[in-house]
Structure 1
């Protein structure tokens, strides 16, 4: 693998310079802001605090990718996102469904075959690289449906989160198609909406834990 191979994936980037994507780079501050807010709100809940830390890492990884734009920084961009997904699924499996640690880990591991099955389906749609993320809002909605009677407030929170994520995926997908109309692209909307969505998902978990008495 050529870790230093240059990647030109977004409308805003017109050369290989460090600040070739200033809007895409700077808007990663939204992740850091959301991480700080959720860190303070999640005192006493280790999993929520871990999610807040990973949220901050998402911002840093994405910043590195939109400034360096190489294979190694692309890895730094996607690994924290995967980490957030897995930790969140584990938290819901353990603290909402009530599975023990090992049961929750086993169910969380099912995300990988789930993604392997659903990503090719989404690749049939004209959404480009966003197909790799599309299974996530679907999974959130599946959890919402399954929890709608047992935890209706949590289910509503999941629906809101899924809708925000779908909107952010739209911004990501439309970046190149709208490049001629919007020279800086629309990828920055993916950052801002994603930061809101991830912070909201932590908030949904915190509210559930508060209703359960901690």
Structure 2
């Protein structure tokens, strides 16, 4: 693998220059803002996993910034890996603290996300216009499944998860539209993926925080 291979995946990028995607780069500040807001909301409440999620949220912003400035394979990994880690940690948190599973069992159920994604991504790839965004499509579906299953056990958390899923669906839609409408909107729409994703990921931490403090 050539870790320094150039990647041109977004409408805004017209060259390999560092600032070829200024809007896509700068809007990653939304992740840092969301992380700071949630850090202030969860600090001192004894919720270690929430603090871990806050740290990962900040790392998502940094990784995405690196990708939209350097646009190379190594930067793409810095962009994607924190997102995957956030998903896994969040699933574990919900399994352990909302479903009240034992940690080992919660971890085992969390690991099922890998085969779940492997099975569902090819199905979403069949959806016209979704393109590379099909890799993210299994996530809002899983959130909605959790929301439905938790509707009686934790109705407040279930509502919060459903709201998060809707925001993520909107975010994925903007991501998928980036290339198709590039000829009409030179900036593309990927920057909205950043803004809505930051909102959604911060909100998901808030849903967890509220459940843990029972203020949902």
Q: Same fold (TM over 0.5)?
A: yes
Structure 1 segments, 4+ long, off by >6 Å, are none
Corresponding residue for 1:182? 185
Which blocks of at least 5 consecutive residues in structure 2 are unaligned? none
Corresponding residue for 1:78? 80
Alpha-carbon distance, 1:60 to partner: 0.2
1:25-82 alpha-carbon deviations (Å, 9 max, x no partner): 0000000000011111112211000000000000000000000000000000000000
Which blocks of at least 5 consecutive residues in structure 1 are unaligned? none
> Are 1:61 and 2:73 an aligned pair?
no
Corresponding residue for 1:41? 41
Q: 1: distance between equivalents of 2:20 and 2:8?
A: 10
TM-score by length of 1: 0.98
Corresponding residue for 1:14? 14
Alpha-carbon distance, 1:149 to partner: 1.1
Corresponding residue for 1:97? 99
Q: 1: distance between equivalents of 2:39 and 2:81?
A: 20
Match of 1:211 among 189, 193, 214: 214
Q: 2: distance between equivalents of 1:42 and 1:194?
A: 19
Q: 2: distance between equivalents of 1:148 and 1:45?
A: 23
Higher mean displacement: 187-196 or 177-186:
177-186
TM-score by length of 2: 0.97
1:90-109 alpha-carbon deviations (Å, 9 max, x no partner): 00000011111101100000
Equivalent pairs, count: 212
Alpha-carbon distance, 1:204 to partner: 0.3
Q: 1: distance between equivalents of 2:52 and 2:3?
A: 28
Q: 2: distance between equivalents of 1:50 and 1:176?
A: 34
